[in-house]
Amino acid sequence: MMKFIAMLGLIFHLVLMQLVVFAQPVDDAAITRLITEFKKDVRGPYQAIRWFCPDGRVLPPQERCNQPGAIQHALPKNIVQKIAEERGIWLGQILAGTPAEAFLDAEHLFSRAKQYQIEQYLTRIDDGWILRRARYYRGAIQAEDEAAWSAQFLSKQLADTQMIAEQFFLLRQWAKDLPQESRGNRWDNIRALSLVLGDSIPAFMDLRIKLHGQPESGDVQRVKDFRNQHRDKLKPNLLIFLNDLIADLEIAFRPADLKLLNSYLPRLAPDSPIALQIQKIMQYSNLSDSLRNTLPFINDVSELLLRIRQTLPAIPRTTTRFQMLNLSITMERMLFQSAINFQTKHLAQEIALMHALAKAAAGCGYLEMWEWDAIRNRLAASPEIKFMTLGEFQSLSEDARRVLEWSVGMIRTHYLSDVNTFAGFEPLSHGFIDDRVRGSILLPLGNSVAKLRESAAKAAGVSNAVLGISNAGQMQGLNPGYAMGELVVVQGSPDGIEFSPKKIYVIERPPADLTPVAGIATVSEGNLVSHVQLLARNLGVPNAVLSAQNLQDLLPFSGQTVFYA
């Protein structure tokens, strides 16, 4: 009897403790602990599989709704529901059955839809994140139901012409991330795999930086060489990741089949701006693959992207609007591939490339149309131009920088608030905006703008004075600002260094997650959309790029207090 009473007491104590915990507000620290638990839990953030009936009933899996339209999926844990209700943070979202207006969350600047995108990013780069084990929880998420819901949601938004006009950027971003049948983004996988490999294999870090910043077709062989060189030292799972990365790279750099564009024409009027541009691009399918990595092809694809955006609201049928939005996403990926493979031969070509990519940025929604209309003529220059005054060139390179800043700013403006919310309990969220930029045509645009700014500085004879070292002109400021503090010059890997907000760091490559510092300069990355620059901008840290020789020359000054501007 006493044993039975003791058992009842223990059960009562456990229940009481759960009630006490459940009654307390869930702060960021508590969510962080929950995330750790969810990663280990075979059900993750879910408690059970249930039938969700059209009349609102929720039934166990062995029962039936006896109504058409019932769906089956996981039910979130009570604590997950509490976090959503109290803090507006949605973890482990399941789309099927979610009211479209609730997911849109227009009242809170579309926060819930954006959180879904951030969670998809975390799932991709952190081995499933809170679904690490729950990915194998049978029946938790039904892929067919998720894709069907996504199609209905996007179609509903695309039926609203005002929504297209006011929120084209977000609509297009949602179309990228919401599940659709038979579609995936190869470059998302490439960046995620290279991130994991770089974190696990220090020797792979340079290749990771290359793939994240300046990918090119030759990287396929570089990764193969790395695999062959380190094969005997790698754990089996890392070797699998390397093989997967090579397979994805080979597919990513494989020329697209332009003849597939023909399937979009039946729904368009033959003389419509989009149809005419599709027909023009299809002419390249009869030419060699190398001709797709040329300025004419890049410009034609950019023009198609712009025409899709300009004419989308005027297309009468919602299904056609949906098709054109997906075509826009497909063409951006095709343009990304062509732009990173194209090598400019002279400055006039670089200007023309920048102009085409800026046009594409407008077509993809990274620029407002009024911004593009205001600056497009100032960016234009013939690829055969022979002469330009220094003042004209400086003005053009500055306008190009503005276009890039505005485009990156579009992503930051829409997502930074929700990224900061997630970062309060999951620091990996800070990489979301960086990943968003690198997965878009803003990456090759950033590389082009960097070359133009470097050429403008050289033409103007601009020089730097840095502690009296030679070749200081090779240093280039990226994020404006000034700081005073101890100079720390780091040779080799910065991993394991405890960064201080009172010190200025000169390093060969940036750490995966930059914490607040007084200032930073790196050798390996140097343009306005580089990994470290996006992190520095988020933290308000002055940042510059320098040469490897500059770093060596600064070693004697390590430990001294310097002024950095």
Rounded CA separation 69/47 (Å): 23
Rounded CA separation 484/209 (Å): 29
State whether 443 and 352 are in the same domain. yes
pTM higher than the cut 0.85: no
State whether 6 and 55 are in the same domain. yes
Per-residue pLDDT band at 11 (split at 50, 70, 90): very low
Q: Into how many domains does the chain fold?
A: 5
Rounded CA separation 347/452 (Å): 8
pLDDT value at 6 more than 60? no
Residue 301 lies in a domain: yes
State whether 165 and 107 are in the same domain. yes
Q: Give the residue with greater pLDDT, 476 vs 203.
A: 203
State whether 142 and 13 are in the same domain. yes
State whether 169 and 77 are in the same domain. yes
State whether 402 and 532 are in the same domain. no
Which one of 335, 368, 397 terminates a domain?
335
pLDDT value at 386 more than 80? no
Q: How many helices (H) and strands (E) does the chain have?
A: 21, 9
- Residue-number span of the structural domain to which 361 is assigned: 344-462
pLDDT value at 22 more than 60? no
State whether 164 and 273 are in the same domain. no
The full DSSP string for 490-516 is E-S--TT----TTEEEEESS--SSPPP
Residue 260 lies in a domain: no
Per-residue pLDDT tens digits for 182-199: 555 677 888 888 888 888
State whether 13 and 152 are in the same domain. yes
Kindly state the average pLDDT of the residues 52-77: 90
41, 133 in Cβ contact below 8 A?
A: yes
In percent, how much of the chain has pLDDT > 70?
85
Amino acid 201: pLDDT: 87
State whether 163 and 195 are in the same domain. no
537, 437 in Cβ contact below 8 A?
A: no
Specify the pairing of strand 476-479 against strand 71-76: unpaired
Kindly state the average pLDDT of the residues 498-525: 77
Amino acid 19: pLDDT: 47
Per-residue pLDDT tens digits for 397-447: 889 988 988 998 899 899 999 999 999 999 999 889 888 988 899 999 988
Please provide the average confidence, as pLDDT, over all residues in the chain.
Answer: 85
Kindly state the average pLDDT of the residues 450-463: 78
pLDDT value at 12 more than 60? no
Q: Is the dihedral of CA 194, 198, 201, 204 positive or negative?
A: positive
pLDDT value at 16 more than 60? no
Per-residue pLDDT tens digits for 520-544: 888 755 555 566 666 667 667 788 8
State whether 429 and 395 are in the same domain. yes
Q: Which of 496, 559, 564 is nearest to 536 (CA)?
A: 564
Q: Which of 368, 364, 308 is nearest to 332 (CA)?
A: 364
